[in-house]
């Protein structure tokens, strides 16, 4: 699955790829977001390490600028490619950042984590450091050497050695000081985890036992005894297991289904169908751990234990750790069956007639709710087998049983929400409108529905619309909302944007946690109105509110404004002066604590006497089934997948259900001692309770309740009987099993004249293949079964009618995967071949010309003397002579080469800093060309301060001042400070000036192979 779409985005991976971090080597985005890795956090947050790593980078650039650098063209080209690859997508410096990020979130997703290109910068800089320090002589231990050590003020080489050692010690301190390991590391896994794993390996090692579910969910494995990141059970368990964490390594459908289970398990409420639901989804044992920390982003074990003990069907079979308060408990999942029958195996291949598969319009997260709704109609057996309507298109030739069938049940899932993939609790927003703003930076805002069916795209929202907010009368927007999953503490969906205009004073819009002053709520009307006023009801503390009116075609200048003090819980009418406006903004100016807008209503007089309510409204609306899809519909099931306090849904009744009696059930019908105690459900303004009947006309209706879920079912005894007596799936006999998880297994399939579906209670995957080996009078043959998705996320296949035999399950790599493996191998071989040909050519050319340079880098590098290492401090003709003695030619570039080099350098500057970078490159190039004149060079050679410059004094002065400026600002602006230096144009351009100076130092005089022609 494309899990990188869920764990990262180009906006995230390129956020810190400015020139400062690219040169320092801190190109990984993880340390900027978490202090878990102490060394990484120190490198981006402590000035001493920022200066040390920047000094190493600057030293490397200085070494690259020296004209005696072997193969300078190769290293400078590599450096330029690396800087461009890292920095072309970063805001605000690159003009191409938008297109680059779009590419990385699309076709270039495999390259999205640009940190992998860091080696293209690191290698040239390390070569530069080595070349810069090549002339440093370390005094020996003899009498003369010891004399130099005792008098460093008289021996510059001793000072240089001390400086190099000190810089090395500082730059590597985060490593040798023991800060690479996480702050809350561990030495060993506690014994109780080993005992629990051994028990499960012994008692849950058969396929019929299914898998072990680890509870509660947690973002990562952060225990009271240490941070393992991965689950501590992972290396200990030999049996299949499942956990909900923040690493989405399975299909998104399975994650949605797992999230639905987690919400039920962590509810703390009695759920009579929970055990059967878990068993049908392949779970035979539940492990509940109590050693997670709050930092693990977990709801904790208390609510899980409360749910299991109150729901029935869970039996505690083992406990490990402390005798009074065990850290690990194991529960067996044994749901009660009708007639006292044993529960079906949790694992293995199952079969059912295709006609008995219920078609539902739902997401996988709704399956526990649907099982509960079936129980309300009298079903006590194992859950029914279901297929999602959105996943049926294109199931394949022979899927006749599904060809003309529409959904029998309509739910309000999947819904349009924002999801914070980094969290597992409070990770989902409220139901949103298509045009609502989002702070989720990932290419995909929520886990989509997918399918293994060929040639289909069930996640297409145009073909399969989502439940979403329908706005009427205008638009409601806000500066922020507490229901945003990216906010501090996650989403509080009871404090959403919709809550401000839902007519319920118990719900309210709150801004994101943090500084509330300046936050605002804005209501934009469909058309301008005169005499605008606002009725405002708040909760929390008293607040000072600034109300303004605007007109869209008049810009952002307010037509009129007023400021009032609003008391919490008391409706306040605010008259806004000004002319005809179509937008009202309510801004918080001050409060003692949190303030929420419970109800906001906008009124307009429009010249009349009576004020008219013109408030924009937002209502979560379930998509209507149309055409033939609607004629099978028998039931509506709506629920609070994410807590909303008060659930409001607008839904459409099709023609064939018009005026038919519907019976109402809610989640608390079975728990209530009397009907009067059950939750009230309001439909079109009328109140109903559990078991009551109602009739609805064709068209749109509105439902409101505080119940966790509501079902409206056709009040026909035959329908309830069909639901309660629908057959369950049968487990197929095992012929052979080679892996225990359905990897290379064989099962016996009996004969049937009906079309059937076989499925595994495990994740659907396009690579899974089911082959039916048929034995009949006509001879043996093989049928490759067409795949489909069962129960929203499980792997299934369609079996044609009238066949029997052995079903063999296997896993086959897709052609796309195999093609890319072959392409990678071919590319690797091409690189090796290119290297071999280049090496052979260089050796032949070197042998023919007698050049030492052709003998290889290992030979000519040893011939570079200390005098050659100091060549940049000498006049040009001396540098050329000494470089030639070292085996390098410093013949100037011809016009074509010089022009190409200047264009490449200008392009580098433009890609890294846009137009300002290009202007900087032009200015530095003109200065270089001006100071390269012989008269100015002779003048510079007579000045000791300027004599050591590679191309005259100007570039060294500019580069030195720019490096000093960048270092000072970088030390003052680490990532943890208020003003981050990496976002500064001054720092970006200063470091770009240093980089450009390196390139311009080689433009007029660049090392080339001796004997090469440089004639124009």
The residues facing 475 across adjacent strands are 524
Residue 445 CB burial class (10 angstroms; 0-12, 13-18, ≥19):
middle
Is residue 397 over pLDDT 70? Answer: no
Q: Quote the domain boundaries for residue 652.
A: 643-725
Q: According to the model, what pLDDT value does residue 957 have?
A: 85
95 and 215 in a common domain: no
Per residue in 165-175, pLDDT (tens digit) is 899 999 999 98
Q: Which residue, 324, 347, 370, sits at the end of a domain? A: 347
Is residue 589 over pLDDT 90? Answer: yes
Look at 478-482, 833-837, 848-852 and tell me which has the smallest mean pLDDT: 848-852
List Cβ neighbours of 519 (8 Å cut-off, separation of 6 or more). 478, 479, 480, 511, 512, 587, 588
718 and 753 in a common domain: no
Per the structure, the count of domains in the chain is 6
Residue 475 CB burial class (10 angstroms; 0-12, 13-18, ≥19):
middle
296 and 310 in a common domain: yes
342 and 217 in a common domain: yes
In a domain, 180, yes or no: no
Query: Which phi and psi angles does 913 have, rounded to 5°?
Result: -145, 15
Torsion sign across C-alpha atoms 238, 244, 247, 249? positive
940 and 835 in a common domain: no
pLDDT, averaged across the chain:
86
Please enumerate, as own/partner, the contacts of 570-573 that have beta carbons within 8 Å and a separation of 24 or more.
570/537, 571/535, 571/536, 571/537, 571/599, 572/535, 572/536, 572/537, 572/538, 573/533, 573/534, 573/535, 573/536
Three-state DSSP class for residue 919: helix
660 and 549 in a common domain: no
| Whole-prediction pTM | 0.85
In a domain, 300, yes or no: yes
Q: According to the model, what pLDDT value does residue 889 have?
A: 43
Q: According to the model, what pLDDT value does residue 945 have?
A: 58
pLDDT exceeding 90 applies to what percent of the chain?
59
User: And the tokens for 146?
Assistant: 């010891």
Three-state DSSP class for residue 573: strand
In a domain, 427, yes or no: no
Report the Cα 624 to chain-centroid distance in Å: 31
196 and 300 in a common domain: yes
Cis-peptide into 216, omega within 30 deg: yes
Q: Distance (Å, rounded) from C-alpha 917 to C-alpha 993?
A: 9
In a domain, 851, yes or no: yes
3-state secondary structure 743-765: CCEEEEEEEECCCEEEEEEEECC
When pLDDT is averaged across residues 11-18 and rounded to a whole number, the result is 92
671 and 811 in a common domain: no
The count of C-alpha atoms lying within 13 angstroms of the C-alpha of 578, restricted to the half-sphere facing its C-beta, is 25
742 and 718 in a common domain: no
Whether residue 738 contacts residue 765, with contact meaning beta carbons closer than 8 Å, is answered with: no
Q: According to the model, what pLDDT value does residue 1010 have?
A: 40
Per residue in 467-503, pLDDT (tens digit) is 999 999 999 999 999 999 998 889 999 999 999 999 8
647 and 771 in a common domain: no
Look at 227-236, 717-726, 770-779 and tell me which has the smallest mean pLDDT: 770-779
Residue 829 CB burial class (10 angstroms; 0-12, 13-18, ≥19):
exposed
Is residue 865 over pLDDT 80? Answer: no
Per residue in 737-754, pLDDT (tens digit) is 765 444 578 999 999 999
**Location of structure tokens 């100091």:** 870
Q: According to the model, what pLDDT value does residue 943 have?
A: 64
Cis-peptide into 798, omega within 30 deg: no
Is residue 145 over pLDDT 50? Answer: yes
In a domain, 262, yes or no: yes
Per residue in 277-318, pLDDT (tens digit) is 999 999 999 999 999 998 888 999 999 999 999 998 999 999
In a domain, 783, yes or no: yes
Query: Is the model more confident about 259 or about 457?
Result: 259
Per residue in 338-360, pLDDT (tens digit) is 656 677 888 899 999 999 999 99
> Nearest CA to 756 among 783, 722, 720, 792?
783
In a domain, 745, yes or no: yes
**Location of structure tokens 């006292």:** 340
Q: Which residue, 298, 314, 347, sits at the end of a domain? A: 347
Residue 742 CB burial class (10 angstroms; 0-12, 13-18, ≥19):
buried
Q: Which residue, 704, 725, 746, sits at the end of a domain? A: 725
Q: Distance (Å, rounded) from C-alpha 223 to C-alpha 202?
A: 25
Is residue 443 over pLDDT 90? Answer: no
Residue 530: CATH number of its domain? 2.60.120.260
Q: Distance (Å, rounded) from C-alpha 800 to C-alpha 756?
A: 7
Three-state DSSP class for residue 875: coil
Q: According to the model, what pLDDT value does residue 886 have?
A: 40
114 and 20 in a common domain: yes
* Torsional class of 426: left (φ above 0), alpha (ψ -120 to 50), beta (otherwise): left
Is residue 151 over pLDDT 90? Answer: no
Q: Distance (Å, rounded) from C-alpha 424 to C-alpha 261?
A: 13
Look at 30-44, 62-76, 669-683 and tell me which has the smallest mean pLDDT: 669-683
Would you say how long the chain is, in residues? 1016
Per residue in 16-56, pLDDT (tens digit) is 999 999 999 999 998 998 888 889 999 999 999 999 999 99
203 and 331 in a common domain: yes
Is residue 398 over pLDDT 90? Answer: no
In a domain, 407, yes or no: no
The full DSSP string for 91-114 is TTT-TTHHHHHHHHHTTTGGG--G
Is residue 1011 over pLDDT 70? Answer: no
Q: Distance (Å, rounded) from C-alpha 212 to C-alpha 332?
A: 9
């Amino acid at each position: 699955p494309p899990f990188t779409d869920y764990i990262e985005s180009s906006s995230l991976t390129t956020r810190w790829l400015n020139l400062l971090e690219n040169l320092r080597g801190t190109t990984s985005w993880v340390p900027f977001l978490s202090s878990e890795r102490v060394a990484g956090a120190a490198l981006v947050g402590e000035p001493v390490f920022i200066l040390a790593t920047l000094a190493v980078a600057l030293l490397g650039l200085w070494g690259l600028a020296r004209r005696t650098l072997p193969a300078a063209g190769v290293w400078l080209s590599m450096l330029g490619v690396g800087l461009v690859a890292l920095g072309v997508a970063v805001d605000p410096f690159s003009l191409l950042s938008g297109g680059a990020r779009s590419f990385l979130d699309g076709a270039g997703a495999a390259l999205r984590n640009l940190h992998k290109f860091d080696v293209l910068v690191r290698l040239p800089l390390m070569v530069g450091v080595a070349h810069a320090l090549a002339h440093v002589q370390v005094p020996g231990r003899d009498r003369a050497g010891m004399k130099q050590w005792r008098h460093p003020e008289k021996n510059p080489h001793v000072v240089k050695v001390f400086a190099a050692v000190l810089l090395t010690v500082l730059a590597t301190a985060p490593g040798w000081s023991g800060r690479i390991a996480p702050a809350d590391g561990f030495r060993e896994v506690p014994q109780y985890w080993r005992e629990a794993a051994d028990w499960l390996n012994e008692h849950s090692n058969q396929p019929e036992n299914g898998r072990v579910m680890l509870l509660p969910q947690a973002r990562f494995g952060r225990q009271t005894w240490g941070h393992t990141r991965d689950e501590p059970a992972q290396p200990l368990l030999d049996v299949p297991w499942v956990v909900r964490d923040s690493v989405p390594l399975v299909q998104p459908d399975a994650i949605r289904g797992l999230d639905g289970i987690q919400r039920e398990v962590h509810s703390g409420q009695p759920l009579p169908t929970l055990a059967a639901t878990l068993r049908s989804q392949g779970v035979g044992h539940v492990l509940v751990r109590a050693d997670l920390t709050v930092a693990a982003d977990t709801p904790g074990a208390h609510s899980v234990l409360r749910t299991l003990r109150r729901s029935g069907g869970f039996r505690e079979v083992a406990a490990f750790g402390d005798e009074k308060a065990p850290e690990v408990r194991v529960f067996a999942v044994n749901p009660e069956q009708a007639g006292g029958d044993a529960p079906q195996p949790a694992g293995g291949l199952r079969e059912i007639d295709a006609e008995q598969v219920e078609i539902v319009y739902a997401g996988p997260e709704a399956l526990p709710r649907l099982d509960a709704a079936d129980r309300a109609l009298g079903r006590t057996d194992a859950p029914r087998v279901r297929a999602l309507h959105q996943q049926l298109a294109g199931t394949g030739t022979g899927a006749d049983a599904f060809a003309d069938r529409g959904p029998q049940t309509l739910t309000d899932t999947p819904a349009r929400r924002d999801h914070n993939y980094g969290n597992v609790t409070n990770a989902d927003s409220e139901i949103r409108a298509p045009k609502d703003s989002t702070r989720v930076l990932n290419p995909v805002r929520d886990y989509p529905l997918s399918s293994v069916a060929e040639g289909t795209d069930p996640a297409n929202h145009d073909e399969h619309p989502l439940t979403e907010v329908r706005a009427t009368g205008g638009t409601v927007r806000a500066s922020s909302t507490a229901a945003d999953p990216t906010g501090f503490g996650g989403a509080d969906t009871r404090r959403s944007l919709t809550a401000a205009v839902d007519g319920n004073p118990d719900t309210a819009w709150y801004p994101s946690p943090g500084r509330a002053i300046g936050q605002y709520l804005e209501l934009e009307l469909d058309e301008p109105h005169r005499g605008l006023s606002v009725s405002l009801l708040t909760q929390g503390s008293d607040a000072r509110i600034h109300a303004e009116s605007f007109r869209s075609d008049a810009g952002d200048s307010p037509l009129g404004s007023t400021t009032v003090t609003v008391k919490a819980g008391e409706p306040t009418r605010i008259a806004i002066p000004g002319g005809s406006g179509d937008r009202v903004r309510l801004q918080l100016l001050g409060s003692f604590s949190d303030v929420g807008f419970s109800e906001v209503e906008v009124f307009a007089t429009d010249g009349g006497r009576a004020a008219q309510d013109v408030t924009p409204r937002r209502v979560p609306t379930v998509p209507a089934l149309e055409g033939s899809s609607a004629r099978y519909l028998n039931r509506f099931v709506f629920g609070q997948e994410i807590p909303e306090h008060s659930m409001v849904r607008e839904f459409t009744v099709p023609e064939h259900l018009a005026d038919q009696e519907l019976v109402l059930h809610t989640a608390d019908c079975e728990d209530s001692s009397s009907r009067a105690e059950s939750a009230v459900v309001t439909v079109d303004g009328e109140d109903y309770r559990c078991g009551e009947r109602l009739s609805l006309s064709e068209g749109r209706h509105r439902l409101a309740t505080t119940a966790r879920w509501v079902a409206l079912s056709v009040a026909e005894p035959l329908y309830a009987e069909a639901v309660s007596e629908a057959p369950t799936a049968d487990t197929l006999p095992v012929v052979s099993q080679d892996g225990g998880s359905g990897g290379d297994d064989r099962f016996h399939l009996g004969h049937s004249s009906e079309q059937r579906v076989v499925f595994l209670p495990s994740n659907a995957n396009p690579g899974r293949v089911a082959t039916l080996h048929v034995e009949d009078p006509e001879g043996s043959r093989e049928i490759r079964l067409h795949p489909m998705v069962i129960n929203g996320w499980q792997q299934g296949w369609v079996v044609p009618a009238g066949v029997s035999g052995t079903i063999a399950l296997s896993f086959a790599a897709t052609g796309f995967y195999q093609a890319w493996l072959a392409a990678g191998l071919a590319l690797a071989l091409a690189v090796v071949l290119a290297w071999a040909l280049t090496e052979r050519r260089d050796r032949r050319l070197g042998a023919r010309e007698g050049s030492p340079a052709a003998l290889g880098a290992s030979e000519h590098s040893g011939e570079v003397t200390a005098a050659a290492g100091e060549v940049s401090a000498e006049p040009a003709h001396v540098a050329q002579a000494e470089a030639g003695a070292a085996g390098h030619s410093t013949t100037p570039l011809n016009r074509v080469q010089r022009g190409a080099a200047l264009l490449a350098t200008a392009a580098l500057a433009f890609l890294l800093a846009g137009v300002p970078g290009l202007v900087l490159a032009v200015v530095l190039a003109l200065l270089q060309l001006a100071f390269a004149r012989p008269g100015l060079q002779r003048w510079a050679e007579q000045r000791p301060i300027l004599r050591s410059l590679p191309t005259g004094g100007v570039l060294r002065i500019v580069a030195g001042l720019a490096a000093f400026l960048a270092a000072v600002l970088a030390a003052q602006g680490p990532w943890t400070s208020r003003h981050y230096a990496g976002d500064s144009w001054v720092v970006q351009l200063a470091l770009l000036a240093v980089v450009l100076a390196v390139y311009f130092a080689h433009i007029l005089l660049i090392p080339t192979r001796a004997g090469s022609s440089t004639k124009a």
